Structure 1
Amino acid sequence: MCTIIPVERVERGTQELDTGQIINIVLWLIIIVWAGYEGYSYFKRKNASIELTEEEFKKDMRKVQLIDVREKKDFDAGHILGARNVPYSTFKTRSVEIRTDQPVYLYDHNKALSLRAALRLRKQGHTNIHHLKGGYRDWTGKTKTSY
């Protein structure tokens, strides 16, 4: 006859993760990756153009391509005198209208869209790109309304 001897299970000090802990780990990884991507994107956009104060912006704005990237209704409500409207929503197709051999001055309401537009222009070969610090929101110079 054969006798069966029970074998005891030996635990090696490892802990099993429950489903809640796995979900927490995955969520934290997603947050860390997302934050890293946003940080990378922000610095990439910020380095695509040079930020100018209002005084610096006014100094040469007659000699450059002055582009307002806000939507048409915002542009019509008021814009910097001499600016041309190329809304960011149509920027992908209309950015070919912007010459690469002349400096480009961009602005929007604050500066988020102008930084994105600057990055797109940089990828298209533009090298002399500037954006207005504070955007149109802080502009005190001459403006024009289209109404």
Structure 2
Amino acid sequence: MSFLRWLPFGKVPELTAERLDTQKSSIQIVDVRTAKEFEADHIAGAVNLPITHFSRHAVAELELDRDKPVVAICLSAHRSIPAVRQLRGMGFEAYQLAGGMKAWWKYSGGN
């Protein structure tokens, strides 16, 4: 596997906060922030898998549905970039939340 997949910059497919909100019931959310960040606040229904623990084995343990899109989320849409690359490499239809949790909070009126 190429180390380039782990770089936290570059372009990956994205969803806006509004689109995520309107399609939440049909999308799986993987929050790649630290456990502490996740515990402080997260989107309802999200599961936490910190990017520092991201691996095929860890993703398999989440038991994600391969027939549903996955959205990776971090604070500002940097840590989620390699997560999206890894998920796509595993065969998932994966996106990142454009702007990360900061965009979600702005959209939803939170934090």
**What CA distance in whole angstroms lies between the structure 2 residues aligned with 1:87 and 1:62?**
23
Shift of 1:105: 1.2
Q: Which structure exhibits the higher relative contact order, with contacts defined as CA atoms closer than 8 Å and separated by 6 or more residues?
A: 2
Larger Rg: 1
Shift of 1:112: 1.0
**What CA distance in whole angstroms lies between the structure 2 residues aligned with 1:69 and 1:52?**
16
AA aligned to 2:100 is G
Q: Which moved more, 1:131-140 or 1:109-118?
A: 131-140
* Aligned counterpart in structure 2 of residue 100 of structure 1, from 66, 69, 73: 66
* Aligned counterpart in structure 1 of residue 99 of structure 2, from 129, 134, 139: 134
Aligned residue-pair number: 100
Any gaps of 5 or more consecutive residues in structure 2?
none
Shift of 1:133: 0.9
AA aligned to 2:31 is D
Corresponding residue for residue 40 of structure 2 = 77
Give a deviation string over 1:12-58, Cα, whole Å, max 9, x none: xxxxxxxxxxxxxxxxxxxxxxxxxx8xx644xx24xx211111111
Corresponding residue for residue 68 of structure 1 = 31
RMSD: 2.2
Identity across aligned pairs (percent)?
Answer: 31
What TM-score does the superposition give when structure 2 sets the normalisation length? 0.77
Structure 1 stretches of at least 4 aligned residues deviating more than 4 Å after TM superposition: none
Any gaps of 5 or more consecutive residues in structure 1?
1-37
